[in-house]
Amino acid sequence: MSEQRKAAALISGGLDSMLAAKVIIEQGVHVEGINFFTGFCVEGHTHAIRERDRAKPKRNNSLWVAEQLGIKLHIVDVIEEYKDVLINPKHGYGSNMNPCLDCKIFMVNKAKQWIQENGFDFIITGEVIGQRPMSQRKQTMPIIARESGADDLLLRPLCARNLPETLPEREGWVDRAKLFGFSGRSRKPQMELAQQFGFVDYAQPAGGCCFLTDESYSAKLVDLWQNRGTKDYELDDVMLLKVGRHIRPKSNFKVIVAREEGESRFLEGYKKEFTSLISSSHSGPLALIDGEPTDEDLALAGRIIARYGQGRDAEQVDILVRSQKGLEQTIQVAPFAPEQIAEEWFV
Amino acid sequence: MSRETLNARRLLCPLPVIRTQDRVKRMAAGEQLEVICTDPGVMQDIPAWCRINGHAVLETKTEDGEYIIVLEVGE
């Protein structure tokens, strides 16, 4: 009896990677999943923050997919290494700050390292030619294979028949005739295959699996880099860009105002890293100050957050300002009227 | 029975799962791990991770806004 071959499948939590893994499992290959966590994954943390999202089912789709497929899933933290991909993408950005092609090359490269360390034979992805405008094109498929170093160890079961044979096909580890030749943006072939496999419930992320494809998120990231004067970030920055209203009245600071109770609770956790403001005379949201504000700036920030609290119509509101070191002072401010907060301040 | 504790407070999913996974790798079958978290998403994610990787969830509870999961490392 021939040796059972082993494949590592990149599992995003979406339908395509689920199908690709299933196609190879059906051929008798031992498959385990890998999911890379960059910090920007939609599958991540947002559902934990907002109060209104707490009632929604909180499932991580990559874990769910692995469970449906009956395979192990290895979630790999690549937050630090991913910085270089995002900050210096060799192939540039997509329509927003999404470095899709470099990201795919990076992940396949990490998968190559993983299979070498864990004694696996090849890598599977759910890529389909023409499915995505930047990374999944006929021209980019060989670039990903080559620049990741995976070369012909990279098998794309959903579109393999449109591509040259890979090692697993040449060696007979998988039967090319049982792979697919999907191409284009249509989801119909995938949905039909899902039906054949009996998959009725699967995630259909609208904007892909990454916050960097989101226009509003990308604008906040660019603003952060521009105003800090350096293209760098920490995981806390990544998290905070997803939370609250970001209002930048001046280049030296911005105000992050919680939009509801859940966000206020989340921002509470950052009071030792940022100056925080909250109304002490009326109920209202917590806000953090990112930057180096002067006393005058703090008063301006106070007027902004007073506008979002119960004291918005009062003549004067008390604002408790707390420094990172815990020093507290109370300032009195007149809340801004909505029209006094310039539209261009909103990031 | 030896039991270790993992502090995963303030981490948002999937980081508590990743930290759990990395700790379990260094533990032996039969040992127990108590994971303490503040992200409610762990109540779904850590049990799911345990199911697919062959570990047993012994207990899940919520105490003072914290989510605590006790698991036993599988073979």
β partners of residue A256: A246, A288
Tokens of B59: 């207990």
Diameter of chain B measured on Cα atoms:
33
- Please give the domain boundaries of chain A with CATH numbers for all domains: 6-211 (3.40.50.620), 243-345 (no CATH)
Looking at A58-199, which runs of residues are DSSP E strands?
73-77, 122-124, 154-155
Residue spans per domain, chain B: 3-72
CB contact B29 to A (< 8 Å): no
Specify the fold of B3-72: Translation Initiation Factor IF3 (3.30.110)
Chain B residues with beta carbon closer than 8 angstroms to that of A67: 48, 51-52
Phi, psi of A10, deg, nearest 5: -75, 115
Which pLDDT score is estimated for A206? Answer: 44
Q: Which of B10, B39, B52 sits opposite A63 (nearest CB)?
A: B52
Chain B nearest C-alpha distance from A142 (Å): 31
Complex ipTM, two decimals?
0.91
Find, in chain A, the residue whose alpha carbon is nearest to that of B11: A45
Residue in chain A closest to B46 (alpha carbons) equals A63
Asked if residue A154 lies in contact with residue A108, where contact means CB atoms within 8 angstroms, the answer is yes
pLDDT beneath 70, residues of chain B: none
Q: Provide the pairing of β-strand A30-37 with A6-10.
A: parallel
SS (H, E, C) A192-203: HHHHHHCCCCCE
Asked whether the beta carbons of residue A60 and residue B18 sit closer than 8 angstroms, the reply is no
pLDDT (tens place) for every residue of chain A, 347 residues total = 578 999 999 998 889 999 999 999 999 999 999 999 999 887 655 555 666 666 665 678 899 999 999 999 999 999 999 999 999 999 999 889 989 899 999 999 999 999 999 999 999 999 999 887 667 788 899 999 999 999 999 999 999 999 999 999 999 999 999 999 999 888 899 999 999 999 988 876 544 578 898 899 999 999 999 999 999 999 889 989 988 999 999 999 999 999 988 889 889 989 999 999 999 999 999 999 999 999 999 999 999 999 999 999 999 999 999 999 999 999 999 999 999 999 999 99
The C-alpha of B2 sits at a distance from chain A's nearest C-alpha, in angstroms, of 25
pTM of the model: 0.89
Q: Are B14 and A73 inside 8 Å of each other by CB?
A: no
